[in-house]
Chain A
């Protein structure tokens, strides 16, 4: 188990936010959130004060009720949204200082899957995966072997010519995972990846994520799936009301104190 550093800054500090976060720069962390706040233009406060360190090759469950801020956290990590205050470092890079034209290169380091798969219905399995390489200007002669490689990782050999609507939900999520893997990402973000899947299929997807993690990729999975989190006994970060309320290694979906009730 990699060591985790949990910093929960005291809210009564008199130091300005920037000075406070500058004090904490753990070199080992691949993802580092320091005093992150996010307020949307409509006034909704999604994250209040979140600090989190995720070392390389960690496997983290992000749990919490709907609207707690899980999705916002994921969006901030791929810089779909910018922080209101605080800072986020991904592989030592400060995302708030990342220029828009460098954003695509951040996204290539991060594989992403979602609850709704986001596959293109008019493309075959092969082309859905190949699309990610084509649009990032990968050399075309490397496309076929790479697509075949990632499709074999997710166990979809033989389904290359199928269209998404000819596949089961689990298979569609595997295609999405394969697509997220074509750039050999160092970080894998999964936002409710099992949200639309039955329990058996969900377990298959989790096995796949563990396999990806075992290959050296950091995995962060936001989920509501209590059973999976409880059985896995991995690191659990619980968010409620825009704040981290619990961060423990080998944790469960609920805090131990609550479970005893």
Chain B
């Protein structure tokens, strides 16, 4: 127990001394770790947000809203509804009145109700929300309903065939670009941590010589440097974790107020996973970098 404590105490106090003895290099490696982890955390959260949007768009994808002109009488609208319901490709049709549309609109997050009240009249059209059995029939139905005189012309429906594909493509591009960036930064940070450890070994060369002379084991000599690498990883990770941890919710709220129709949501569970991943990756960078540092330079 005493021996283990001695080993831990020696490794940590030496590592701490090393860290401050070449403070400039140590802080450079902390910064690069911080940048890597900030990029990693941001990328994971952005991809998650895009996932949220894709998931919601997919549930909406089998339905379109057919907007009715304000001049359409309710009886004509109901005939049109029956006509659509008789179509074998359609699974259900729901009538949404102007008032119902307004009620729904008011429920959108991050929308200031007082802005709507200043409008005076209700600009939203009534609609028939058509759900199809097969998404691939959506385009054909969209074409047909547009020919009806009952249908509003600007716009006729909310049919946007490419929106999901676009978001998926965006997520894919963002994911690949982010991954390439993170791989590059990871290599760079491991290299810089390695240099930091090399510098520390150089500054300690006399101690190391004496340690080997009096019979210290290889691992006893190595541990302080491994711990120094871990300290670099942890410090960089903690700063990045704090920024991402406290920055995620304000970022989501701000984006929601700009992109009111985009269904972004703050996801505390996923945030915890991301923060844990960042911390783990920071430790990994520190240990790999320092292991490479000691492996090459403490050989004999």
Using a CB–CB cutoff of 8 Å, the interface residues on chain A facing chain B are 78, 100-101, 104-108, 112, 118, 120, 131-132, 134-141, 179-180, 182-183
Contacts and interface: CB of A to CB of B under 8 A. Distances in A.
B214 A179 contact: yes
11 contacts: A100-B218, A101-B218, A104-B216, A120-B210, A131-B207, A131-B211, A135-B210, A136-B214, A137-B3, A141-B2, A180-B214
Interface of B: 2-3, 5-7, 10, 206-207, 209-218, 220-221
Contacts, number: 64
Given A100-B218, A120-B207, A137 B213 contact: no
Given A132-B210, A135-B220, 20 more contacts: A100-B218, A101-B217, A101-B218, A104-B217, A105-B215, A112-B213, A118-B209, A118-B210, A131-B207, A131-B214, A135-B210, A135-B214, A136-B220, A137-B3, A137-B7, A137-B217, A138-B3, A139-B3, A140-B5, A140-B6
Nearest to B2: A139
B218 to A, nearest CB: 7
A136 B216 contact: yes
Looking at A100, A112, A132, A137, which has the most chain B CB atoms within 10 Å of its CB? A137
Contacts of A183: 214-215
Contacts of B211: 131, 135
A108 B214 contact: yes
Contacts of B217: 101, 104, 137
Contacts of A179: 214
Q: Which of A131, A135, A180 lies at the interface centre, i.e. has the most chain B CB atoms within 10 A of its CB?
A: A135
B206 A108 contact: no
User: Which of B5, B6, B212 is packed against the most chain A CB atoms within 10 Å?
Assistant: B6
Contacts of A131: 207, 210-211, 214
Contacts of B206: 118, 120
Contacts of B5: 140
A32 B57 CA distance: 83
A148 to B, nearest CB: 18
Nearest to B9: A140
B6 to A, nearest CB: 5
A101 B3 CA distance: 18
A50 to B, nearest CB: 23
B300 to A, nearest CB: 9
Given A135-B10, A140-B2, A107 B212 contact: yes
Nearest to B206: A120
A160 to B, nearest CB: 18
B218 A136 contact: no
A146 B215 CA distance: 17
Contacts of A180: 214
Given A107-B213, A118-B213, A120-B210, A134 B218 contact: no
